[in-house]
Chain A
Amino acid sequence: KAGVTQTPRYLIKTRGQQVTLSCSPISGHRSVSWYQQTPGQGLQFLFEYFSETQRNKGNFPGRFSGRQFSNSRSEMNVSTLELGDSALYLCASKTGTPNTEAFFGQGTRLTVV
């Protein structure tokens, strides 16, 4: 059974640009959540999508957005990149039923220069 797949693995972008990251969940999982991990702030929840609808949202500015497609694949977009957006971006998938595990992808390392 394939795990959670994130692409690309690494990205270097310039301040002011925008970026789109992709996450394919485990087959059968309908919930995809996105997290930002930095040395200073740790792992922080960005948002969750379930059945193509945003179900939860963290405390991040509107420059961070996402969407989910009918096959449960999800994309995250960051517009007008800032140096502080440099981080490891992780997605996690769950089935969406109560009391089930959440599995992470390998992450996308974003560097903003």
Chain B
Amino acid sequence: QKEVEQNSGPLSVPEGAIASLNCTYSDRGSQSFFWYRQYSGKSPELIMFIYSNGDKEDGRFTAQLNKASQYVSLLIRDSQPSDSATYLCAVNRGSSNTGKLIFGQGTTLQVKP
């Protein structure tokens, strides 16, 4: 079992729809969680960061964290073609102040006009 698992997709949604991306992790001691967006040939860009159970909203993006069930999700409302990218889920391994992030394989999102 991988430490961080994501469905590789592609996840295809029409423009204006809600895209839902999911991620599960195996280390129950993980404390902080990241969602990055990566366009082809570019570096990962931080979209959301969450460390408390519940929802965190930032514009069209909502991160949801459930530590009991060991999953974290990302909702993208009013999806745009420019949201088409690979979304990487990352988990802070060990203490939350360290820089060791474990990444999932990423979910490819396609937003169709």
Interface size of B as a range: 20 to 34
**A6, closest chain B residue (CB):** B43
B85 to chain A, nearest CB (A): 14
List the B side residues contacting A98 at CB < 8 Å.
31, 95-97
B9 at the interface (CB under 8 A from A): no
Number of residues from A at the complex interface, CB < 8 A: 30
Chain A residue at smallest Cβ distance from B103 = A43
* B34 contacts chain A at the CB level, 8 A cutoff: yes
Asked whether, in the complex, the Cβ of A102 is within 8 Å of the Cβ of B102, the reply is no
A14-22, A75-83, A103-111 - interface stretch: A103-111
Q: Chain A's interface: helix, strand, loop or mixed, by majority? A: strand
Q: Tell me if B88 counts as interface (CB < 8 A to partner A).
A: yes
B101 interface neighbour in A50, A92, A96, A106, Cβ under 8 Å: A92
One of B45, B88, B96, B101 near A45 (C-beta < 8 A): B101
How far is the CB of A107 from the nearest CB of chain B, in Å?
5
Q: Are B101 and A33 in contact (CB under 8 A)?
A: yes
- Contact at B103–A103, with CB atoms within 8 Å? no
Min C-beta distance of B61 to chain A, whole Å: 14
Binary interface profile of A, 2-20, with partner B (CB < 8 Å = 1, else 0)?
Answer: 0000000000000000000
Which residues of A pack against B, CB within 8 Å?
Answer: 31-33, 35, 42-45, 48, 50, 55-56, 58, 88, 90, 92-94, 96-107
Chain A to chain B: the 6 pairs with minimum beta-carbon distance, closest first? A33-B99, A43-B103, A48-B99, A31-B99, A56-B100, A98-B97
